[in-house]
Structure 1
Amino acid sequence: MPAVQTVSVLPAPAETRATDPGRCVTFAVRADADPGALPRVLELFAKRGLVPTALRSELLPEAGMLDISVEVVGMVRAESDHVANCLRAIPLVGHVLTAERTVA
């Protein structure tokens, strides 16, 4: 008779990412007007489990560019700096600016 194996399912680990609930960061991104630009930008937030509090995208046809604004609450400075650098590394992205403000 074959041996019976048991599998234990462990609960998901607690959130280990440092957060700053009073900090709101806005990422202003200028990218090529390409269908893959917006998903590539949003992927950097999604893979960190972050849901933007605001998202705006506008096609600038005369410039052939996409103007993207992503606002996220709760990121610590080191994380937002890292995400900004990752955004700058995307080939379709021309430039990235960040701004921050305090929220209640």
Structure 2
Amino acid sequence: MAMPTLSAPGVESRPYDPDYTACFSIQANADPGVMSRVLELFAKRGLVPSSWHSRVGGIQDDELIIDLQMQGMVRSEADYVAACLRQIPDVGTVLTSERFRAAAE
């Protein structure tokens, strides 16, 4: 029996705003599985973050801090992804912000 194949949703099927960038700052326990679970939320939507920076810090080097940006993600989708990030085990805090590309004059 052949296994069904799944593909990511096409970019044309989702709302897209080229001038909007969703920014996420995630603080979690320094567990190796956290990064893959965070990235999975974007990958299953067919997205690759436009920027990703992670580091281990905290008083005892027991915190994982991830800062990522996703250009083109609309606000409603960014809010939903942030809510999903907050449900990931070991994630303590998820902060969001947004950037807008300046209009050409």
Do both share a fold (TM > 0.5)? yes
Answer 1 or 2: which has greater helix percent: 2
Structure 2 regions of 5+ residues with no counterpart? Answer: 1-8
Between structure 1 and structure 2, the one with the greater Rg is 1
Equivalent of residue 16 in structure 1, options 13, 31, 38: 13
Equivalent of residue 88 in structure 1, options 76, 86, 100: 86
The two structures have a TM-score, normalised by structure 2, of 0.82
Answer 1 or 2: which has greater strand percent: 1
Deviation at 1:92?
1.3
What is the total number of aligned residue pairs between the two structures?
Answer: 93
Equivalent of residue 70 in structure 2, options 44, 69, 72: 72
Hey, what's the Cα distance between the residues in 1 that align with 2:33 and 2:41? 13
Equivalent AA in structure 1 for residue 62 of structure 2: G
Q: Which residue number in structure 2 is paired with residue 102 of structure 1?
A: 100
Structure 1 regions of 5+ residues with no counterpart? Answer: 1-11
Q: 1:14 to 1:31 in 2, by over 3 A?
A: closer
Deviation at 1:36?
0.0
For residues 9-65 of structure 1, what are the alpha-carbon distances to aligned partners after superposition, in whole Å with 9 as ceiling and x for unaligned? xxx967211111100111000011001000000110111111111100000161511
Aligned partner of residue 37 in structure 1, secondary structure? helix
Hey, what's the Cα distance between the residues in 2 that align with 1:97 and 1:31? 12
The two structures have a TM-score, normalised by structure 1, of 0.82
Hey, what's the Cα distance between the residues in 1 that align with 2:72 and 2:66? 20
